[in-house]
Amino acid sequence: MNLLRIALKSARFRRTSLLLTVFTIAISVTLLLGVDKIRKESKSSLLNTVSQTDLIVGARSSPTNLLLYSVFRIGNATNNVTWETYQSIASQEEVAWTIPISLGDSHRGFRVMGTNSDYFDFYQYGERRSLVVGSGERFEDVYDTVLGADVANELGYSLGDEITISHGLVSADFAEHDDKPFTVVGILDKTGTPVDRTVHVSLAGIEAIHVDWQGGGRSSVTLNAEQALQLDLTPTSITAFLVGLENRAETFRVQRQINDFPDEPMSAILPGATLAEFWRTISTIEQVLFVISGFVLIVGLLGMLTTILSTLNERRREIAVLRSIGARASHVISLILLETLLVVTAGCVAGVGLLYALLAVARPIVTNRTGVNLAITWLDSTQLSIMGAVIVGAVFVALIPGIIAYRRSIQDGLALKV
C-alpha cells in the first residue's frame, strides 16, 4: 500500500507525460483489438455468404472452382448441366427445394444471373437471413430484372429504368443484346454478399436474349423481343443449382449419388466445408493481419519504454532518497513495475472504451458499405489474451528502467541541485 501511494503521488507530478503514454497504449490496444475484430468478422462474413444450402451442384470441376463461379460469380463453369438432369435431381424425394443458376452474361461489369422465384424464397445468407426486395417487387415478366444493391447504387438505377445485357463478361457494342432490353422492377436490400453485385433475371429472360444467337454472335435470322416471347423459352441447360434437403442427415448420401450420376459428370459440394477450405487457401491475409497486430504491440511497448526512460533523469533524486532511507532493490524495481502496471491498465481500459466507441459509430457505415456486421460483443478469449499479452509485455519491458534506476548511485542522486 505504501508503494501504491508513492506511485500515485509520483505519477501526479508527471501526469502529462504519463497521460501521453496512456494515450499511446490505448491507441495500440484499440488497433490490436480492432484488427482481430475485423479479421474474425471478415471470416464470419465469408463463411456465411450462403447458408442453409446443403449442396451446390454443377458440372464436374474442382470444389473451389464450383464455389467461386456459383456463389462469388468469379470465373466460369467448365460445362453446363442439362435441364433434364436438373429436373431429375430436383424431383427426388430427398430434395426439398432447388435454385437453378444460369451465368455467362454481364451488364457494365456486373454479372447477370438467370434464376427463378425459388431464389427469393429459399436463398439465405448469414444467420438464416433471407433476401429482401427493398424497392419494387420480384421479376414476373420475361424482361424484368431485380438488381443487387451495389449495382443500383453504383450505376444510379431506379425502378422503371431499362438496361441491356451484354453477351459474355466484357461489354462491347457487337455483344449487346440491345434489341431485348430489361426493365428494373426491384432492388434488393444490402446483403454484404456477391448478391449485391448481381443483376438478376429469369431463366426465360436468359433464353429470350439468346434465341437468335449462335456461337457467340447473332445468327442471320434475328428475332425482336416480342417475337422471342412466342417461342418455348424453357432452358436447355443451366450453369449450376443449389439444393436444400428434407433431411440434412441424407446430405452425404445424396452427394455421392450426384457425384456418381450416370447420365453426365457432375460435382456436388458442401458449401460450408468448401468455404472453410477456401478461407484456408487465402489464410495469408489472416497471417498478415497477425503480423500487423504484433508490430502494433511492439511499437506500443517501445513507446512506453521510451517514455519511462526519458523520465528517469527527473526521478533520480526521488529514487536516491528512497534508497538512502533503506529501500531495497526489490522496492525500487517494484515501484517502477507498479507504475507501469497502472499506466498499462489505464491504457488497456481506455483502449477498450475507444474500441467500443468506434464500433458504435462505424458499425452502421461498414454494414451499409460492405455488409460486414461488426457485432458489438464482450471481449472473447483471444482478445482477453491480447490484453494479457500487452500487460505481461509491459511488465517485462519495465524491468529495464527498473534495473537502471536501482543501479544509479545514491551520491549521484543526492548531488543533484534542486
Coil, strand or helix at 378? coil
Pairing of strands 198-202, 240-245: unpaired
Q: What is the pLDDT along the chain (418 residues), one digit of tens a residue?
A: 566 676 666 667 667 777 887 888 888 888 888 888 887 887 787 888 899 999 999 999 999 999 999 999 988 898 999 999 999 999 999 999 999 999 989 999 899 999 999 999 999 998 788 999 999 999 999 999 999 999 999 999 999 999 999 887 765 555 688 889 999 999 999 888 899 999 999 999 999 998 877 655 566 667 888 998 999 999 999 999 999 999 999 999 999 999 999 989 999 999 999 998 888 877 777 677 778 777 877 877 787 777 777 766 666 666 666 666 666 666 667 777 887 888 888 889 999 999 999 988 888 777 666 666 677 888 888 888 888 888 888 888 878 777 776 666 444 555 555 4
Apex 23 CA angle, 22 and 27, nearest 5: 115
Q: What's at 180, amino acid-wise?
A: K
Q: Please, is 169 exposed, middle or buried when counting C-beta atoms within 10 Å of its C-beta (0-12, 13-18, 19+)? A: middle
Q: Which of 102, 80, 19, 122 is nearest to 343 (CA)?
A: 19
Predicted model pTM: 0.74
Q: Domain extents for the chain?
A: 2-46+283-414, 55-269
- CB contact burial 253-271 (16+ within 10 A = b; e otherwise): ebbeebeebeeeebbbbbb
Could you write out the DSSP letters of every residue in 20-73?
HHHHHHHHHHHHHHHHHHHHHHHHHHHHTSSBS--EEEEES--HHHHHHHHHS-
Q: What's at 415, amino acid-wise?
A: A
Number of H-type helices and E-type strands within the chain: 15, 17
**How far from chain centre, in Å, is Cα 233?**
38
- Contact between residue 164 and residue 110 where contact means Cβ atoms under 8 Å apart: no
The C-alpha atoms of residue 245 and residue 332 are separated, in whole angstroms, by: 70
Residue with cell 517514455: 307
Q: How many Å from the N-terminal Cα to the C-terminal Cα in the chain?
A: 28
Q: How many CA atoms lie within 13 A of 362 on its CB side?
A: 16
The C-alpha atoms of residue 147 and residue 159 are separated, in whole angstroms, by: 10
- CB contact burial 308-342 (16+ within 10 A = b; e otherwise): beebeeebbbbbbebbeeebeeebbbbbbbbbbbb
For residue 287, what pLDDT is reported?
75
For residue 415, what pLDDT is reported?
55
Angle between helices 381-407 and 316-324 (to 10 degrees): 70
The C-alpha atoms of residue 206 and residue 196 are separated, in whole angstroms, by: 20
**How far from chain centre, in Å, is Cα 322?**
55
For residue 212, what pLDDT is reported?
79
The residues, ordered by sequence, that sit 6+ positions from 32 with a Cβ below 8 Å of its Cβ are 293, 296, 297, 351, 386, 390
For residue 393, what pLDDT is reported?
84
pLDDT digits (tens, 9 = 90+) for 86-97: 999 999 999 999
For residue 65, what pLDDT is reported?
93
The C-alpha atoms of residue 321 and residue 415 are separated, in whole angstroms, by: 11
For residue 409, what pLDDT is reported?
46
For residue 357, what pLDDT is reported?
93
The C-alpha atoms of residue 20 and residue 15 are separated, in whole angstroms, by: 8
